Each structure stands twice: as structure tokens, then as C-alpha cells.
Amino acid sequence: MSTFSDFGPLTERRRAELKQKQRKKMLVAGSSALVVLVVIIAGVAVIARQPHKESKGSSTTSSNNDATSTTQMHAISKSVETICAPTDYKDICVKSITKATNASSSPKDMIRAAVSVMGDELRNAFSVSDLLKSEDPRVKQAIADCKEHYENVKGHIASTLEGIDAQKLDDLPTRSHQLRVWLSAVTAYQETCIEGFPDGDLKTKMQNAMKDGKELSSNALAILGKLSDFFSSLNMKIPGLNRRLLSKESAYPEIDEDGIPRWVSEEDRRILLGKVKGDLKPDVVVAKDGSGAFTTINAAINAIPKDYTGRYVIYVKEGQYDEQVLIPKKMGNITMIGDGSQKSIITGNKNFVDGLTTYKTATVAVMGDGFMAIAMGFRNTAGAIKHQAVALRVQSDKSIFLNCRMEGFQDTLYAHSLAQFYRSCVITGTIDFLFGDATAVFQNCIFTVRRPLDNQQNIVTAQGRVNPHETTGFVLQKCKIVADPALIPDKAKFKSYLGRPWKEYSHTMIMESEIGDLIHPDGFLPWNGDFALKTLTYREFNNVGPGAATAGRVKWPGYKLIKDKAEATKYTVENFLHGEEWIRATKTPVKTGFYA
């Protein structure tokens, strides 16, 4: 039996409820202007309703019914074309949305159809891995990983649909960022499933199986990302459409005077205000010397009550904890506090050479949303000789890492997906030591480039965006890129670069940062030939240091030195990460705008 469960369409009960809500809205509206507006919105979502103005005095003859039917079909065709206009795969967009909606659907169902059609398609795509047979341990691991990835895909699609349902229609354009963060993660998981297989026939089969699912994901991202433009093109005066996206006064009235969401608990508020050590009482203490409730971090995690609410705080006393740690998806809002990033250290040596997929090499993997780590160290000691060896893998939405340290060589920090914020952290490595497809900002961090193997080059970032409609990318702001002491004597021997395009639409911005002289004048390195050089988005703004000279930078179509501050604004925490909702605070070391 397949391990992949059916995602399923809308239930009849939901359809009936939504239809009843729509009737109530129509009755309350009353005025002809609102009726016209609803008819327009219905057209947007692919459903044609009988126009109310035509019902007055209309004929009941067969010819008139035929004429009405023809008019409705024409309206359906035009509206589907309009809503699919911003997509890259229009044929499958038109077919899937038309099939997923009917005359009883509400306007919101019409917009959500672009997301709901992904469910069955991705179930079928991921289930292909069930049919693959191989004695290769790495293939077996990839198949197991795909099953795990599909569970995450289902969860993110469900969250997106719930997010659409929870919003009023006129709020969707200003709230679409979070929906697209979830759908970007769906795209990342599809790609991670494929990447787990070694090159060959089995990997090609998974790529082919994912084709339609990736196209539907792309279409949904494009539609949600262009809702404002779409409504505006119809001259629809939707309240809130023109308001500032992250205005505390209008878009987010739930933000208090300190810039902290009002829904944040008092304990979380103290964390965000930087009063951790003195004010926050741990729920559990882990200590190697036996002075705490547990001597291992895994034991503490396994003992977390299933029915806990609020934030659960684990205090990790000074010590080196040699264990592979997983914060599962079901465990949200966990805080891990150490005695210092070089004192409280979680260490491991899992690696690719010994037969694991890169995904499974992580010493620490964080999947529960809202995770916070403060003054912790994450380490993988496999060394450069073992190639991919992840110290920390993060798939936690709205996760925060303060004063932490990630140590490794190749693939040290796997910022896999969703929204992440790093402040005052140290990340060390050699090849692609910051990689993944998250929406992540690194602020006031130090990227330390280590000495690689004699035949290798150093690359700081390898961002993995596969679709231009994703929200994802890496922003390095007010950071330092420096050479490790062991590399300094041999800086001239090894070429070091800011990044290379792991995927076709790789997206990285480095701004207001200090770049050391170890960085090659080209700045960036191709992945393979001219792959992604026209489609990537690499930007630099207002950097300093000997490695920041741009006269010798690559001349790729996708690279640009930004000189206009207004153009660079979209990469601030406020606009790129939409962090004002969940990390901004006046006493927290967070800069929502520019430093200068």
C-alpha cells in the first residue's frame, strides 16, 4: 500500500457552507454596484454566475437560456485567461483551475483553486518514489527522505489553504507574502526529494514525475504574488490595496509600541527584548555534569509534554553534546539557550561520503516553527575530506538564531526553507557553506572561510531558488566575510568567492557588509558553464573592504551593483523578510531598515 495519503478536494459540507456565506453577502450587499463587483470577482475565480441585472424581466425560452449559457462560457474563458496571465505555465493553469471549480464555488474558492489543485498532483508525484527499487543505500535513503518531504508538503499546502480561508478577500493581496513563503517551501521540498537521488535513471524518473507538480506550484506562486496587480487591472477599489505593506498603523495594528506583536507571550516578549538570562525561567535544564534534569538534549526533547502550550525553554549548560538532534515539526515554539556559542555545543560527524544524503547529515535539524536558539554552538566535525556534512539544517518558519555559531566545512548551514533570521552569528566553512532555499536574512554575522582541500575553491553561498515567483533568497547585511587564521597564510593559493548559483534562479544580496581581501575580484563563480547566469539574481549594495571592489566583478546578466538606496530597500528585514511582525523590537539587536 502506498504511504502517500490523498490530499482530497473540498468537501461538500465546505462547499455548502461557503455557498451559504456567499448568499448572505449578496443579500446584505443589496446595491447594484456591489452586485456588479461580486460578478467581477466571480469571473476572476473562474466561475460565471447569472448576472442579477439580467434576471429582471428575462425570458424563459430555450433560445435565451442558450444565449445566457454562451455568455457565461465566454466570461469563464476570459476570466481564466486573466487570472492565469502572470503564470509561466498557462495551459495547465487554465485546465486545472477550470476543473477545480464549479457554479457553487464562492469567490474565495476560485482564488484558492490554484493552490488546491496541487494536492492530488503532488501526491501522485511523490508516490513514484514508492515504485523505485534499488539496493543502493543512498537510493533507499532518498526514498525514505521523499516520504518525509511529502508530509511537509501536505502540511504547507494545508496551511496555505487555511490562510486563504482565514482572510477576507480584500486582505489577500497584503497577506499573500506568508502564503507564498509556505508555497515556496513546497517547491523546496520537491527539489530536495529529487536531489537526494544519485545522478542516473532513478533521478530522471523523479524529475519527470515532479514536472506537473512543479508547474502547478509555480502557477500558484505567480497568482498569489500578483493579486494586487490583478485586482488593480480590473479597477477594483479593494480597501487596503494601496496601504503600505508593513505599516504599523494600518496593516499591522497588532504591533505594540515596542514593535512586538501583541499575540506574543510575556516570556517571548522578554526574549525579543533581550532579557533572556535574567528573566526567563527554563522549563528544563540539560547538563553534562548531571546537575540538570537530563544529560542529553535528546532526552530533554523526548520528555517535552505533548500537551504543552506557549514557549518551551531548554537551557543547555556548558558542555559538548555529541548527538544528532531533531526538533520535529509537531514541536513548535521551542527555545534553546546555551552558555555561549563556544561553550554549549552540539556536535556530530555525519557526512555524504559515508553514505547519507546531504539532508540527513545534519547534526541538528530544526523543523518545528517558531524555534529560537540563543548562544548555542552547532558543529559537524567530519572535515573537508568527507564533503557534504551539515552542522545545522533549518526548516522552521519564523525561526531566530541569536549569538550562535555554526561550524563545518562543506554545506555547514542548510537554510532549507521558510522564513529565518540570524543575528550576530558566526558561520564557518569552505564550499557552499551557506546553502538552501529559505527566505533568510543574516544580520551582523561573521562568515569565516576555512582552508579547503588542496584541489578545492571556497564559496560562501549557494542559494537554491528554482522558481522566480518564490519569496526566497539570502540577504547578508552588515556582515563580515573573513579568512580563518589557518587560511590566511595560503589565501593566494585558494580562490574564494561570495557565491555560485546552485539552482536556476539563485537569489543573493550582500549589502552594507565588509568583504575581506580573500574574495576573488570576480566575486561570484559559475556553477557549470553558463547555467543560470541569465536567470540568477545577485546584488551588492554599499559594501566596504578590499574584497568589495566591483571593477572586476562578473559581467553576467543576472548580476548587478545597486547604487540607488531606494532600489535596495526591498532587501531590508522589513520588506524582504516581513520581519516586523515577529522579530522587530526596539531593544533587540535587529535592524529593520538600513544601517546608514
- Counting Cα atoms < 13 Å in the Cβ hemisphere of 503 gives 23
Helix (H, G, I), strand (E, B) or coil at 586: coil
Neighbours of 86 (CB within 10 A): 19
Element spanning 36, H or E: helix 32-44
Annotated catalytic residue within 307, 432, 484, 530? 432
> Is residue 539 predicted with pLDDT exceeding 60?
yes
Element spanning 240, H or E: none
Region 347-360 average pLDDT: 97
> Is residue 336 predicted with pLDDT exceeding 60?
yes
The b/e string for 231-252 (b: 16+ C-beta within 10 A; e otherwise) is beeeeeebeebeeebbeeeebb
> Is residue 501 predicted with pLDDT exceeding 90?
yes
Q: Are 495 and 526 a contacting pair, CB within 8 Å? A: no
Region 546-572 average pLDDT: 97
Q: How far is the C-alpha of 130 from the C-alpha of 391, rounded, in Å? A: 29
pLDDT digits (tens, 9 = 90+) for 305-329: 999 988 899 999 999 999 999 999 9
Helix (H, G, I), strand (E, B) or coil at 499: strand
* Helix and strand counts by DSSP (H, E) for the chain: 15, 26
| Residue of 519, 521, 480, 462 lying closest to 496 (CA atoms) | 519
| pLDDT band (50, 70, 90) for residue 462 | very high
pLDDT at 55: 39
Q: Phi, psi at residue 532, to the nearest 5°?
A: 70, 0
Q: Find the range with the poorest average confidence among 162-176, 419-433, 508-522.
A: 162-176
pLDDT at 232: 63
Helix (H, G, I), strand (E, B) or coil at 544: strand
> What rounded mean pLDDT belongs to the chain?
84
Instruction: For residue 549, give the C-alpha cell.
Output: 571592489
Q: Are 485 and 417 a contacting pair, CB within 8 Å? A: no
Region 51-69 average pLDDT: 48
> Is residue 47 predicted with pLDDT exceeding 70?
no
> Is residue 414 predicted with pLDDT exceeding 80?
yes
pLDDT at 267: 53
Q: How far is the C-alpha of 269 from the C-alpha of 230, rounded, in Å? A: 38
Region 360-383 average pLDDT: 97
Q: Are 433 and 427 a contacting pair, CB within 8 Å? A: yes
Q: How far is the C-alpha of 509 from the C-alpha of 440, rounded, in Å? A: 11
Query: Which is more confidently placed, 596 or 27?
Result: 596
Q: Are 225 and 176 a contacting pair, CB within 8 Å? A: yes
Q: Are 92 and 219 a contacting pair, CB within 8 Å? A: yes
> Is residue 23 predicted with pLDDT exceeding 70?
no
Sheet holding 426-429, edge to edge: 319-322, 344-348, 377-380, 405-407, 426-429, 446-449, 480-483, 514-515
Element spanning 91, H or E: helix 90-100
Sign of CA dihedral 531, 533, 536, 538: positive
The DSSP call for residue 273 is T
Neighbours of 425 (CB within 10 A): 24
Q: Are 185 and 217 a contacting pair, CB within 8 Å? A: no
pLDDT at 173: 87
pLDDT at 18: 46
Neighbours of 137 (CB within 10 A): 12
Active site residue 411: yes
Residue with cell 498569489: 224
> According to the 3-state scheme, what is the secondary structure of 315-383?
EECCEEEECCEEECCCCCCEEEEECCCCCEEEEECCCCCCCCCHHHHCCEEECCCCCEEECCEEEECCC
Q: Phi, psi at residue 543, to the nearest 5°?
A: -90, 160
pLDDT at 189: 98
Region 177-184 average pLDDT: 96
> Is residue 533 predicted with pLDDT exceeding 70?
yes
Name the β-bridge partners of 312.
Answer: 334
Q: How far is the C-alpha of 247 from the C-alpha of 574, rounded, in Å? A: 10
pLDDT digits (tens, 9 = 90+) for 140-163: 999 999 999 999 999 999 999 999
Q: How far is the C-alpha of 181 from the C-alpha of 163, rounded, in Å? A: 12
> Is residue 268 predicted with pLDDT exceeding 80?
no
Element spanning 416, H or E: none
> Is residue 475 predicted with pLDDT exceeding 80?
yes
| Residue of 399, 405, 337, 321 lying closest to 374 (CA atoms) | 337
Element spanning 570, H or E: none
| Residue of 122, 108, 176, 188 lying closest to 154 (CA atoms) | 122
User: Percent of the chain scored above 90 by pLDDT?
Assistant: 68
pLDDT at 101: 80
Q: Find the range with the poorest average confidence among 246-250, 354-358, 388-392, 575-579.
A: 246-250
Active site residue 432: yes
Annotated catalytic residue within 130, 411, 484, 564? 411
What Rg do the C-alpha atoms of the chain give, in angstroms? 26
> According to the 3-state scheme, what is the secondary structure of 434-463?
EEECCEEEEECCEEEECCCCCCCCEEEEEE
Q: How far is the C-alpha of 398 from the C-alpha of 333, rounded, in Å? A: 10
The DSSP call for residue 407 is E
pLDDT digits (tens, 9 = 90+) for 211-227: 999 999 999 999 999 88
The DSSP call for residue 246 is T
| pLDDT band (50, 70, 90) for residue 98 | confident
> Is residue 444 predicted with pLDDT exceeding 70?
yes
> Is residue 127 predicted with pLDDT exceeding 60?
yes
Instruction: For residue 268, give the C-alpha cell.
Output: 517571548
Which residues make Cβ contacts (< 8 Å) with residue 93, sequence separation at least 6?
80, 83, 84, 87, 114, 219, 223
pLDDT digits (tens, 9 = 90+) for 277-306: 445 689 999 999 999 999 999 999 999 999
Residue with cell 549557494: 462
Mean pLDDT comparison of 1-15, 170-184, 441-455, highest-scoring range: 441-455
pLDDT at 237: 54
pLDDT at 174: 85
| Four-point Cα dihedral 78, 81, 83, 84, nearest 10 | 170
Q: Find the range with the poorest average confidence among 232-236, 253-257, 546-550, 561-565.
A: 253-257
| pLDDT band (50, 70, 90) for residue 402 | very high
The DSSP call for residue 538 is E
> Is residue 239 predicted with pLDDT exceeding 80?
no
Sign of CA dihedral 338, 342, 344, 348: positive
| Residue of 156, 91, 130 lying closest to 369 (CA atoms) | 156
User: Percent of the chain scored above 70 by pLDDT?
Assistant: 76
Instruction: For residue 243, give the C-alpha cell.
Output: 496601504
pLDDT at 44: 43
| pLDDT band (50, 70, 90) for residue 69 | low
